[in-house]
């Protein structure tokens, strides 16, 4: 009986290690926040104007607040809008 339980646990561990864990909204907020930080630092593209950068930073502040208030869906949308404003494609959840 003990051997059967051990084999079952081993199989479960292998099955779990093979499955990719889903990214939570909180993790996605964090990923997009990091991506936006980098985009703002490098000014995303050579043609980004100062007003675009300022708008992106204001959106970043708003997204940070949403994510901190556990309103991740709104935060994710706001980060994505800021990135698009700078000409950057937001990271994909599946990556």
CB-neighbour burial class of residue 63 (10 A; exposed 0-12, middle 13-18, buried 19+) = buried
For the stretch 29-62, pLDDT in tens is 999 999 999 999 887 456 668 888 999 999 999 9
Residue 5 lies in a domain: no
Range of the structural domain that residue 62 is part of: 25-86
For residue 93, the model assigns a pLDDT of 72
Domain count, the chain: 1
CA distance 74 to 63: 7
Residue 33, token pair as written in the block: 């926040």
Q: What does the alpha-carbon distance between residue 74 and residue 64 come to, in Å, rounded to a whole number? A: 10
Identify the DSSP state of 90: P
pTM beyond 0.75: no
39 is a domain residue: yes
Mean pLDDT of the chain: 80
Say if 16 falls within a structural domain: no
Averaged pLDDT for residues 15-23: 58
69: pLDDT strictly greater than 50: yes
Residue pair 31/47 in contact by the 8 Å Cβ criterion: no
Please report which residue ranges of 1-95 form alpha helices under DSSP H.
2-18, 25-41, 50-68, 72-85
């Amino acid at each position: 009986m003990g051997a059967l339980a051990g084999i079952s646990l081993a199989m479960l561990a292998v099955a779990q290690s093979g499955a990719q864990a889903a990214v939570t909204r909180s993790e996605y907020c964090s990923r997009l926040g990091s991506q936006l930080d980098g985009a703002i630092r490098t000014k995303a593209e050579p043609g980004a104007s100062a007003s675009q950068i300022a708008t992106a930073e204001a959106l970043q502040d708003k997204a940070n607040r949403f994510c901190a208030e556990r309103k991740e869906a709104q935060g994710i949308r706001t980060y994505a809008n800021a990135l698009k404003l700078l000409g950057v494609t937001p990271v994909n959840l599946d990556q």
